[in-house]
Amino acid sequence: MKLEGKVAIVTGGSRGIGKEISRLFIKEGATVFALATEDVPLIDSDEIKDFPEDKYFYYKADITDAKLVSQIVNEIFEKTDKIDILVNNAGIARDNFLVIMKEEDFDKVIEVNLKGTFVMTKTVARYMRRQKYGNIINMASVVGIEGNIGQTNYAAAKAGIIGMTKSWAKELTMRGENIRVNAIAPGFVRTGMTKDLKEDLIKYVIENTCLKRLGEPEDIAKLALFLASDDSSFITGQVIRIDGGLRI
């Protein structure tokens, strides 16, 4: 198993991409601590076997609350005596055209997607620097690379995550630490965030994607596993697109 004995924190780890990352990490031997805003993780009865009580621990948390995040991360470290992997997956979208986008919608997306990633990484990095090793995977987006109509706030947050990824890859190895930092930039993936998109838009996206389909959460989870494992031990500071050949 590729992650045997590893301890991973996954934000947004109760649904969608985060849930599939958690599932695959557990299958590959990791113990996963998931953070999300739901009261309980959204796991169906037939999925319980994939999330055993001794391998999947859930915290309801607002990742922008630095004090709460510090308490949770410290509790995780005291339980496990290490933190091997952080996956910054949590995010929201509040799309609208620039001239009618509400300031509160701009602020909220920046707060959760960008500041939340900053707060989580700042907190976990303290422990990883002590350990002299660690692995951080940030969830960016093709929108953060290419931009997209109606997504000023989302594009700004994801572009910021890309910038932080490259900065952290440099900064967190300054003292000889083996801390790798990479980002995943998905295209359109079939999750709760895309289920409400208009059928015409979905059709357009599929027609303009080389592989003629949307991505699935499992596709992203497999890339996260690669980046979390020793298979990618010489990769850091990279942004890897996984979009089926989307032509924006």
Q: Residues 79, 49, 84, 110: what is their CA dihedral angle, to the nearest 10 degrees?
A: -100
Catalytic entry in 59, 127, 154, 204? 154
Is residue 156 part of an annotated ligand binding site? yes
152 is in an annotated binding site: no
140 among the known binding-site residues?
no
* Catalytic residue status for 204: no
Residue 88 assigned as binding residue: no
How many angstroms separate the Cα of 172 from the Cα of each of 7, 86, 113, 118, 239?
Answer: 19, 14, 21, 14, 17
Residue 247 CB contacts under 8 Å (≥ 6 apart), including other chains: 208, 209, 210
Q: What are the residues whose beta carbons fall under 8 Å from the beta carbon of 233, sequence distance 6 or more? A: 180
- Residue 125 among known ligand-binding residues: no
157 annotated to a ligand binding site: yes
Of how many residues is the chain composed? 248
Gap between the Cα atoms of 166 and 121, Å rounded: 13
Residue 155, marked binder: yes
CA–CA distance, 18 with 41 (Å, rounded to integer): 11
Residue 37 known to bind ligand:
yes
Let me know: does 36 contact 61? Beta carbons within 8 Å.
yes
Dist CA 93 CA 62 (whole Å):
16
Cα–Cα distance measured from residue 13 to residue 34, given in angstroms and rounded to the nearest whole number: 5
User: Per the annotation, does 13 bind a ligand?
Assistant: yes
Cite the active site residues. 154
Residue numbers belonging to the annotated binding site for NADP(+):
12-15, 37, 89, 154-158
Residue numbers belonging to the annotated binding site:
12-15, 37, 89, 154-158
